Amino acid sequence: MILAAGLGTRMRSTLPKAMHRLGGRPMIAHLIATAETVFDRIVVVVGPGMEALAALCAPHATVVQQERLGTGHAARMAQDLFGEGDVAVLYADNPLITAVTMRALLDARQGAELALVAMRPADPGRYGRVVTEGDRVLRVVEWKDATSEERAIDLCNAGVICAGADALRGWLGDVRAENVQGEYYLTDVVALAAAKGTVRFVEAPEAELAGINSRAELARAEAALQDRLRGEAMEAGVTLVAPETVFLCADTVIEPDVVIEPNVVFGPGVTLRSHVTIRAFSHLEGCEVRGGAIIGPYARLRPGTLCAENTHVGNFVELKAVTLGEGAKANHLTYLGDAAIGPRTNVGAGTITCNYDGVFKHRTTIGADAFIGSDSIFVAPVTVGDGALVAAGSVITEAVPAEAAAFGRGRQVNKEGRAKILRDSLLARKEKR
């Protein structure tokens, strides 16, 4: 069960807290993806008016907590869907909890009435404290209700618990709103479980358990996630020249022997095959780059782009919905949108595909082994055949046959002596000012 009904008031946002993004995906999506690797079934508790959040959780079941009366009340909303076996309660604002910790929680539950996850944060702050006796948990006390002695405890509650379905239903029915907030605390089931038998805890790192309730905490979680993603990439055989300057998405796929230079940003949906080099200050999203390709510096690859083997995309080149054929090059100052570029074709500096007519998008198709001169403009839809040559400065509005040379520019006219006449006239005007 994932509790995700929080409004995120401290976020100062109209979005539900669970929809704020980390590593290019909503917080709830991180947690669901991890939980899917551990649990048989997932139920998400959302708040009223959170249809968009419920849609993000599909195909998993959702229930609505109409009144926000605390975490214990939220858990009650889902109790009819507990089924049999063990039930774990997770929180949407703890999206970085790992599958390792989830499995450790399930293991700790064996032979105990209840198991919970705890941590020792550098600054315990206002976290609830876990009161123990040896390795057994006696109760969890919320910071607002804690005594000064209890606040001195450094073992803090992460909120995550696991118990048998039938027992948890019973304890949830016994929870009372007898506290400073007048809410039903899920943490109260810990004392109820301890009164019946053994409660154990699993300790996990703060980095995967710290709650996210504000923009500042969201930024800290992003930093922690980026450290994790970078570490996983390097462990898998990826070279990050300056790891702290590379920003990855949770779904970024990078194969071994890829080299990524400083200040590179990945949006969602990027796949890099082995032996790719991404040079500095490039931005990639929704694209695939295949072996031997060199991208950047200062390149932008947008969704729908495929750079085949041994392609080159250079500085200040933008590709959107482009297929760049094997060995093709676009090395300087170019925009290619909604286009297919054939193998080994060279695209000169300043080339533009005019793909949008104000209403519809249109495609440009350029064949293999073509040569596109600098400052060429293609007014789509248009086709250039294999082996064709387009002269620099051309505006291409009609098909260019294979092996043809296209000159789509005005004829040059030289006016002898006119440069000096024009220059002298301008200088004379300047002196009169």
Residue 374 annotated as binding?
yes
Task: Give Cβ neighbours of residue 295 (< 8 Å, ≥ 6 apart).
Answer: 276, 277, 278, 279, 282, 284, 289, 301, 307, 313
208 is in an annotated binding site: no
320 is in an annotated binding site: yes
Is 84 marked as a binding-site residue? no
The answer to whether the annotation marks 65 as part of a ligand binding site is yes
55 marked as part of a ligand binding site: no
In the chain, how long is the greatest CA-to-CA distance? 104
Q: Any catalytic annotation for residue 20?
A: no
Residue 409 in marked binding region: yes
**184: annotated binding-site residue?**
no
Tell me: is residue 177 an annotated ligand-binding position. no
- Residue pointed to by tokens 């032996």: 275
Closest listed residue to residue 177, CA positions, set 89, 64, 70? 70
Residue 128, annotated as binding a ligand: yes
**5 is known to lie in a ligand binding site:** yes
| Residue 349 marked as a ligand binder | yes
- Alpha carbon 386 to its chain centroid, in Å, reads 39
Q: Which of 333, 263, 339 is nearest to 307 (CA)?
A: 339
Q: Which amino acid is residue 12, in one-letter code?
A: R
* Residue 98 CA to its chain's centroid (Å): 17
54 assigned binding-site residue: no
> For the packed helices 165-174 and 188-196, what is the interaxial angle rounded to 10 degrees?
120
Residue 94 assigned ligand-binding role: no
Say if CB 130 and CB 43 are below 8 A apart: no
3 annotated as a binding-site residue: yes
Report whether 363 contacts 380 (CB < 8 A).
yes
53 is in an annotated binding site: no
**Active site residue: 60, 275, 332, 362, which one?**
332
For CA atoms 215, 216, 221, 224, give the dihedral sign. positive
Residue 384 CA to residue 378 CA, distance in Å, equals: 10
Residue 286 assigned as binding residue: no
Q: Are strands 21-22 and 389-390 parallel, antiparallel or unpaired?
A: unpaired
What is the rounded CA–CA span in Å between residue 317 and residue 302?
Answer: 11
Question: Does 209 carry a binding-site annotation?
Answer: no
Contact call for residues 96 and 207 (beta carbons, < 8 A): yes
Among 105, 229, 106, 113, which residue's Cα sits nearest to residue 170?
113
Which residues belong to the annotated binding site for acetyl-CoA? 349, 355-356, 374, 392, 409
Which residues belong to the annotated binding site? 3-6, 17, 65, 70-71, 93, 128, 142, 157, 213, 302, 320, 335, 346, 349, 355-356, 374, 392, 409
Which residues belong to the annotated binding site for Mg(2+)? 93, 213
Which residues belong to the annotated binding site for UDP-N-acetyl-alpha-D-glucosamine? 3-6, 17, 65, 70-71, 128, 142, 157, 213, 302, 320, 335, 346
- Mind telling me the catalytic residues? 332
